[in-house]
Every structure is written in structure tokens, then in C-alpha cells.
Amino acid sequence: MVNWNNLDTLASYEELKQAKRVNLVEAMSGESGAERVKKYSVPMAEGLVYNYAAKQVDDGILADLVKLAEEAQLAEKFEVLYNGEMVNTGEKRLVLHHMTRGQLGEPVEADGVDKRTFYTTQQQKIAEFANKVHAGEITNAAGEKFTTVVQIGIGGSDLGPRAIYLALENWAKKHDTLKMEAKFISNVDPDDAAAVLNSIDVAHSIFVLVSKSGTTLETLTNESFVKDALKNAGLDASKHMIAVTSETSPLAKSADYLAAFFMDDYIGGRYSSSSAVGGAVLSLAFGPEVFAAFLDGMAEEDKLCKNKNVLENPSMLDALIGVYERNVLGYLCTAVLPYSQALSRFPAHLQQLDMESNGKSVNRFGERVSYETGPVIFGEPGTNGQHSFYQLLHQGTSIVPLQFIGYRNNQMETDVVIQGSTSQQKLCANVAAQIVAFACGKEDENRNKNFEGGRPSSIIIGDQVNPRTVGALLAHFENKVMFQGFVWNVNSFDQEGVQLGKLLAKRVLAHDTDGALKEYSDLLNI
């Protein structure tokens, strides 16, 4: 039987708080550091490796984290989730995003259908549609091929698919599988839509409207923007638009769209990249085979999360170390630092994934918790970040745990030798140097040049950014966030925190305001 208990009621948590702290400077210096790098590493799917040698853990801390995982029943909770129990207590829904990429447990039926079949059916329909577009069987009114796909959506309908598209765009060019250029419109700011529409040939563009309810204000506003642009170009908007929505939304059977592909209530927006939300735009951009490879990478990483041995379960281990940093060591933030320009928007997606999931102050039963929950997530690609905010990370008053991501090879498989080394070698040298610099520091009599060290980090290392490794990487973080939510006993699958502002915005637009809301509305000439 699974028990949902608060973190501060667990005996293993009390043990963890009493455990001796690790002196990271000593641990990572000299031969001790070399041995840690070899020892504290665990394989992920698709050839990735999670190395946590530069974290403030040792065998004793790890043993306590294993106890915490067992007492919190993390493996058992994952099992009830993928077997279809109602884990989203806030909205009283199943949580089924794992099922979009594989069957981890028992068949799950909801809404009168087998859900794995539902998701694969949508994927097949998307694949057939994309293939027809690429083959010129579905064209614009002039019988010409579509060359650009534009996703219209916000939040999870934008951040994940956009991050994945950017991650794979150069890889697809190199492997001759970039079928269509993709663009994204998300912000209700009219400058966003205008910038995209001014950069494309609308006559050769197909637009993907993503809204589960069919009522998302920002998305429908941008759809109107696009429809006006098509109309002004003398084009029939219904011949240029498809919808990704729920079967019960007003978009589902509308004649305004070439086709409609379906999602459901059991997959939150930030977990929806592996559903039709990501499937439509990515299959059109790269071809269905590339999207299928992305799903395969996710599925392989999901399988590792079933392992009850914490030290062989990279997502669970990463999650537990993060809980230790947040709740015992007291660190507020985590920086995500991919040393790959392809992953330039990956930190932005992880911001939503993590902070929308675990940014909660009440537990699964609506009771206020007395401990910290989700961290603040931020980040930029290296080496750009080194010349931006790394100053604070190295010498600021707050310690920020770091999550590096690095690859041995670039995507384009071209490089140049300058001063005896290639650009890729310089990139990799920087990430290796940063890990040791943060951990070990450097003593200097000049206090401005003194580095205290003791700044923890981990790194995920792979050979190259490609569809399967991107899938595995994303699944790792999705599952990490899930496991942390289990430890904190919060509901990681609702997001009520985004609703209040929307409700007040509707009042402003209806001129139903008073007090400060009216004054701010007047200042903005609404």
C-alpha cells in the first residue's frame, strides 16, 4: 500500500539532516577528486551518463538518500502512476504522459478507450498527415508545397516543442531530414506574431493551433492575428490551419481546420512534448521517423526509472540529491547550463517543467507544508553564461547548485583548429574547467581574486545531441521533477498558480476593476 506523507514526517529525513556534511573542496581536490569522478557516475539511456562526483555527497549521504527513497516509496508511487491510479489529486485526473512513448505497466482505460492505443492512433494520424504534406499530396490552394510550419500556442504548447525543434534543427540539416522550417508564436504581445508573420511566406505556411480547451485567450488571439494575415494575402485560412486540441473542444470538428489531432486531460502542458502537442509540429518539421526516434529515447529513459535500486536510477538519484540540497543544505536555486547551443531553449522549458510542477506550498491534500519545495530554475548555454552570470555563481554570497550538460561531439560534424585545439575541444575544456573551479576554488591573498569553492554541480554527458538523446534527456528531467514531487508530497500535475492572473486580466478587459487594479489599468491606457 502506498502512503502519501509529508517529508518532515519521515524518519529518514531526520537522519539525513543529522548526517555529516561533505567538504567539497577537499573531496574534489587531488587524487580524491579523480576517484570520485570515476566512482559517482550512473548510466542513462542512449549512451548518456549522469555524473555527480562534484555534488556534496559521499557514501554515507547516499545511504541516507536510499533510505529516504524507500521510506517515501518513490518506486511504488511511480508504479501506481504509470498503472493508471488517480495521482493528480488537484484535478482528480490520471497522469499518463509516459504512455505517449511506451507501456510501462498495465493497460490503462479511461474515457472508454485504451489510452496507449489512443496516443499511438494520434501519432499514426499525424505521421500520415505529415507524409502527405511532405509528398505534396496536401498543398496550398495553388497546388504548391508547404515549406514552413508555425506553432501557435503558449506555455507547454510552446516551450517544449520549441526547445526540441531548436535542439534538432542543425542535426536534421546535417542528416537531410529537415522537411520544413518551424516557427513559433506564443506571446499575446502583437509584436511576437508580427515578427514571425513578417519572416515567412504565409502562402507556403501551415499553422498548428494548439489549445486543449479551444478557449485559451492568448492562443485564440494569435490565431486571429494569423487569420487576418492569411485573409489579407487573399488566402483561405481553413486551407492553412490544423488544430491540436481535445476531442470535446469547439476546435475538434470545426471546418476552419484542415485536420484536428487530439490530446486529453491526463497530460499536463509541460509534459506534452511527447503527445500530439509536440508530435504535429516536430513531425512536420523533421518527418515522423525523427519524432518516433525522440519518443524511443524517452521510453528507454522511462524504463530506467522503474529500477528500485536508487544508485542505478539516474532520475531518482538526481531528484534525491536535489531534495538534499534544497531541504538540508538550504539552496534556493538550480542553474541548468547546457554546453551546446542546440539546447539554447532547454533551460526555459525546464523552468516551466520544474517550477510549475513543484512550485507548491500545500501538499496533495491541500494542507500547508512546513518545508521548502521546488527550486528556482534558470540557465543559459555555455560558454555564453560564463560571460554573464557566472560571476555570482563563483563568488556571490549564495551557493547555487549547477546542472551541466555536455557533449563530446557537435551536430554539424565540422570544426576548425585554432591555437592547437578545435572549437569543440575548447567548449568541452570550458565545462570541465568550470566543474573543478566551482568545486575546488582557488586561494588568493587578493580577496577579489579568491574563490572559496564548495559550489556543487553535476553533469550529464553524451556523444551528440540527436533525436534519441534529446528524448532521453527530457525524460530524465520529467522524471526527476516527478520524484521530487513525490518526496515533497505535492501534486506536481496541476498548476492553479497560473489562473489568478488570467481571471484578473479578464476583469480588466471587461472594465470591471477597482482599487489598485483600476489604477494600473488606467496607467496602461486599457
On the 0-12 / 13-18 / 19+ scale of CB atoms within 10 A, 365 is exposed
Q: How far apart are CA 318 and CA 403, in angstroms?
A: 10
Q: How many residues does the chain have?
A: 526
To the query of whether residue 79 is one of the catalytic residues in this protein, the response is no
d(CA 305, CA 320): 13
175 counts as catalytic: no
Active-site residue (options: 17, 39, 231, 387)? 387
DSSP 332: -
Q: Distance from CA of residue 19 to its chain's centroid?
A: 32
Contacts of 184 (CB under 8 A, 6+ apart): 150, 151, 153, 158, 161, 162, 165, 196
Cβ contact 513:521 at 8 Å: yes
d(CA 220, CA 437): 48
Q: Which of 270, 277, 297, 295 is nearest to 354 (CA)?
A: 270
Cell numbers found for residue 71: 521510506
Q: Between β-strands 49-51 and 113-114, what pairing exists: parallel, antiparallel or unpaired? A: unpaired
CA distances from residue 101 to 46, 97, 302, 499 in whole angstroms, order as listed: 15, 8, 9, 29
DSSP secondary structure string for all residues of 22-74? P-HHHHTSHHHHHHHHHHSEEE-GGG-EEE-TTSS--HHHHHHHHHHHHHTTH
Cβ-contact 467, 283 below 8 angstroms: no
Q: Which of 17, 132, 502, 506 is catalytic?
A: 502
Instruction: Tell me the three cell numbers of residue 526.
Output: 486599457
Pick the closest to residue 210 from 151, 285, 149, 272 (CA basis). Answer: 151
Residue 132: count of CB within 10 angstroms of its CB = 13
Give how far Cα 422 sits from Cα of 341, 404, 413, 436, Å: 16, 21, 12, 21
Q: Is 356 a catalytic residue?
A: yes
Strand ranges (E), 138-180 = 148-152
Q: Which one from 356, 380, 394, 476 is the annotated catalytic residue?
A: 356
Angle at the Cα of 161 (from 158 to 166), degrees rounded to 5?
Answer: 110
Write out the three cell numbers for 343: 539546447
Distance CA 271, CA 72 (A): 23
Give residue 462's identity as a one-letter amino acid code: G
DSSP class of 69: H
CA distances 60 to 18, 39, 64, 456, 518, Å, are 11, 14, 6, 17, 57
Contacts of 514 by beta carbon, 8 Å cutoff, 6+ apart = none
Neighbours of 254 (CB within 10 A): 15
The DSSP output letter for 494 is -
Q: What angle do CA 289, 293, 296 make, to 5 degrees?
A: 135
Active site residues: 356, 387, 502
